[in-house]
Every structure is written in C-alpha cells, then in structure tokens.
Amino acid sequence: MMNDMKSNFDVKRTIAPAAARTTTTTGAAVDLAHCNGALVVFDPATITDGTHTPSVTECDTSGGTYTAVAAADLIGTLAALATDVQQRVSYIGKKQFIKGVITVTGSPSTGGVYDAVVVRGYPRKAPLS
C-alpha cells in the first residue's frame, strides 16, 4: 500500500545525539542498497557558538574514501545550522553508502548539540520492461 509509511521507509542514524560538539563530526555510513532514495535530516537543538555546516558524503564501499555529494545529486540545499532549525535534503545519487558530516569552524568553546538521520525509501522496485 502506498500509504503504509512504516513498511516503505526506514530510519538510520548517521550522527548520534551527544553533548555539545566543538569539532567536525563525520557520521556513520548508511547503506542504501535496495533503496530507491534517501532523505538526510540534520536536526540541531542548540548552537551556541562556532559555525556548524552540514553536508553529505558518498562512496561505493562502506570503508572507502568518501567525497562530497555533487549538488546535482541532492534535492535541496544546506546552510550553517541554527538552533531548532531542521534542514533536510534528498539524496538521488548512485553510490551505495552515504554519511552526514557537520564541519565546525570558528573555534567554538561550547559548540552545538545536534544529530542527523537518514530516512531510506525502499524497497527498490524492479525496472519496468
């Protein structure tokens, strides 16, 4: 059923909630095998100082070298995080693994509290013939 969200989507955490972060955080790899797309959600609670900029990286293998996702492979844009302002982008690229990354600049002393999740859409349907 198309309305059955529970059976058609899956949520995986890439950046777990933690105490305030003052350095760049790279999330865990999320496997998109058999998925027909992904939504990446960056969810800040409190940003007190420093600049915390989210991005998405991709790779063909979970332990390989990740590179920034090209703008053409994202629907939406990301900007520096602000307190309680959730940001999200759709990943439409072809790589099997993605990670959320938050780059921290500005030498923060107290930092920011946030997490990031990937909502995987699945299962991938067989191609129409």
In a domain, 7, yes or no: no
Report yes or no: 32 and 40 within 8 Å, Cβ to Cβ.
no
Q: What is the C-alpha end-to-end distance of the chain, expressed in Å?
A: 22
- Domain range for 29 is 19-121
- How many domains, the chain? 1
State the Cα–Cα distance between residues 117 and 41, nearest whole angstrom: 5
pLDDT of residue 129: 43
Global pTM? Answer: 0.90
**CA 46, 70, 16, 124 torsion: positive or negative?**
positive
pLDDT of residue 1: 54
pLDDT of residue 128: 45
In a domain, 66, yes or no: yes
In a domain, 13, yes or no: no
| Residue whose pair of structure tokens reads 């993605």 in the numeric block | 98
In a domain, 4, yes or no: no
In a domain, 53, yes or no: yes
CATH number (domain holding residue 59): 2.60.120.1110
* Per-residue pLDDT tens listing for the chain (129 residues): 567 777 778 899 999 998 899 999 999 999 999 888 899 999 999 999 999 999 999 999 999 999 999 999 999 999 999 999 999 999 999 999 999 999 999 999 999 999 999 988 866 655 544
